[in-house]
Structure 1
């Protein structure tokens, strides 16, 4: 029986992925900040819950060690993350630091903790949830995009490094997901000077979220990436994300950026 280790498994995509892999007969190690609050995954056979706050370096080391004592691990799915939306000027240094710590350093540190194990085994796969926001940029998401674009470049470089050892790395880039993202896992901030822009942005995002995927639909793409055996780096997930990415490639980055700005900000 194969085993997947998942971060950010308490809700949304992480939870949907844990349930899907469980249904497909995998052993699942589902990690989250407060596993004692989890009532659904805790009922499932072959699903183990472990505590993991990806901003806590010591806990990453101890949880990875515990996970490897419990089971061989075939796939590490870096999914923990959240959105930070607002003009840069309005964000506190704490907000900026927390976003980088969670979305970027968390992924790098969890991955690094597993690399020696995979390298010695000469097999293994890292999958990271990036975002269509790792391939294109929306207004008012500069620090969020900094983390997601960084993960895309990091993954591409790391693939060169790890592939010779039989270890693979992939990214899944979802568009909108119908979860608590816009409510629960989103941190926002603004200033009066940006009010018109913020209102316009959120109105456009609401419209875009009508095309959003369910967590289960994106989990299917994660499963595909996990099992297709391809040496493919990027999996763009969701019809909305595919359409936007296609548009960017066809128009070219600069034309796309101009058109996209008009769509969001009317200018």
Structure 2
């Protein structure tokens, strides 16, 4: 199905740009948020009737609510895509308080605010779809990524809970869990702490090889991933999770099997903390 209207945060690069480009090419309409209007000038010029840019910093909660209200005031919005976010690398103690606050405000609080602001409108219009860009890092954890994982594991719990709350209103929610992709996320926008010698040569700094394109490019194709995300909107009921990339899926399955194996050893301990039967 085409002829939908989409609200997408962070369309200047990465998945947001790939989604927007494909949607406009197929005839859909997009309201896209950017930090600076010049980042979307080419889209406004090439698709003046189908694309509208909104300047938005998703850490500004009042501005997020205003942008969502304006989007729905203009007409039905079929799909809301919470995409804005970035990566932050470094050992936990190497990160500054400001870096911690900023990534939580962007990746977690910003996404929560966007979704909460959209829900009353989606209910009023009789339904719609919410797509939250997460990561396989919302299921798997690596050293040197602690705060990024904190935001992704957090948004996964939020969406899984809210999806159950809003299903009776015809609102579907999907968590997208991509693996490594050839986007600016890895090779441009990633932020790195002021690294210290104490962690040199340890797993906490293993990410430096991953961020270096000379070590080999990520396997994920952003265009193919964007096409899969777009296609998911035609699937009923909405898939709660989509893992994109074979490496991401294999890593996720390995992590889940290990986690389940650990929990399977806990039966006796768990039962030992219950009141005895009959008490």
Q: TM-score, normalised by structure 2?
A: 0.85
**Residues 1:243 and 2:250 are matched in the alignment:** yes
Name the count of aligned residue pairs.
255
> In structure 2, what is the equivalent of residue 265 of structure 1?
none
**Residues 1:222 and 2:222 are matched in the alignment:** no
* Runs of 5+ unmatched residues, structure 2: 263-279
The structure whose Rg is larger is 2
> In structure 2, what is the equivalent of residue 81 of structure 1?
85
C-alpha RMSD over aligned residues: 2.0
> SS where residue 69 of structure 2 aligns?
helix
> SS where residue 68 of structure 2 aligns?
helix
* Structure-1 separation of matches of 2:66 and 2:238: 31
**Residues 1:196 and 2:201 are matched in the alignment:** yes
**Range that drifts further, 35-44 or 220-229:** 35-44
* Structure-2 separation of matches of 1:253 and 1:82: 30
**Residues 1:232 and 2:232 are matched in the alignment:** no
* Structure-1 separation of matches of 2:152 and 2:256: 18
> In structure 2, what is the equivalent of residue 262 of structure 1?
none
Contact 1:172 1:221 in 2 (8 A): no
> SS where residue 40 of structure 1 aligns?
helix
* Structure-2 separation of matches of 1:40 and 1:21: 15
> In structure 1, what is the equivalent of residue 162 of structure 2?
158
> SS where residue 95 of structure 1 aligns?
helix
In structure 2, the CA distance between the partners of 1:246 and 1:30, relative to structure 1 (3 Å rule), is same
In structure 2, the CA distance between the partners of 1:201 and 1:40, relative to structure 1 (3 Å rule), is same
> In structure 2, what is the equivalent of residue 186 of structure 1?
190
> In structure 2, what is the equivalent of residue 57 of structure 1?
61
* Structure-1 separation of matches of 2:261 and 2:149: 17
> In structure 2, what is the equivalent of residue 29 of structure 1?
31
- Provide runs of 4+ in structure 1 moved above 6 Å: none
Contact 2:35 2:56 in 1 (8 A): yes
* Structure-1 separation of matches of 2:127 and 2:151: 27
* Structure-1 separation of matches of 2:65 and 2:144: 34
* Runs of 5+ unmatched residues, structure 1: 256-267
Contact 1:217 1:238 in 2 (8 A): no
Shift of 1:69: 2.3
- Please give the per-residue CA displacement for 1:151-202, whole angstroms capped at 9, x wherever unaligned: 1111110111000111111111000110122342211112211111254332
> SS where residue 39 of structure 1 aligns?
helix
* Structure-2 separation of matches of 1:228 and 1:42: 30
* Structure-1 separation of matches of 2:116 and 2:21: 26
* Structure-1 separation of matches of 2:8 and 2:177: 16
**Range that drifts further, 188-197 or 93-102:** 188-197
More helix by share: 1
Contact 1:75 1:125 in 2 (8 A): yes
In structure 2, the CA distance between the partners of 1:89 and 1:254, relative to structure 1 (3 Å rule), is farther
Contact 1:133 1:148 in 2 (8 A): yes
**Residues 1:43 and 2:45 are matched in the alignment:** yes
Shift of 1:40: 2.6
* Structure-1 separation of matches of 2:189 and 2:126: 36
Q: TM-score, normalised by structure 1?
A: 0.89
> SS where residue 49 of structure 1 aligns?
strand
